[in-house]
Amino acid sequence: MNGHLAVVTRLVESGASPALANDKNYVPLDLAGLNDKVGVVDYFLAQVQKLEADGANGDGDGLAAGLEGAELDEAAGAGDEDVEVVAAGAGSDEIRPQE
């Protein structure tokens, strides 16, 4: 968020996941973009391109490696209903169960 590319690079190289979201559901790429930290945004996008290239070249598992072994927690969504936004306006969206 503050644009310290050297810190971001070190954290990611040390195993920190750039896919973890904060309490507002923003990942580091979102925060860097929202705060105009172009160097950090470019770094994260280069990491994604590298993963995609690794998978396409057969050099590694690419993006599929991150999905392997992933499990969806179906219980987390239990009881959730489909919803639709029925009115749009600044701060006045009404949400109700889809019929």
Residue boundaries of the structural domains of the chain: 1-67
What are the phi and psi torsion angles at 65 (to 5°)?
-60, -35
pTM of the predicted model as reported, rounded to 2 decimal places: 0.54
pLDDT value of position 68: 56
CATH 1.10.3210 fits 1-67, yes or no: no
Q: No. of H helices and E strands in the chain?
A: 4, 2
pLDDT tens profile 28-66 = 999 999 999 999 999 999 988 887 887 666 555 555 555
pLDDT value of position 69: 53
Cβ(11)–Cβ(43) below 8 Å: no
Cβ(28)–Cβ(44) below 8 Å: yes
What is the sign, positive or negative, of the torsion defined by CA atoms of 26, 27, 30, 35? positive
Q: Is the predicted pLDDT of residue 87 greater than 60, yes or no?
A: no
Q: Is the predicted pLDDT of residue 95 greater than 60, yes or no?
A: no
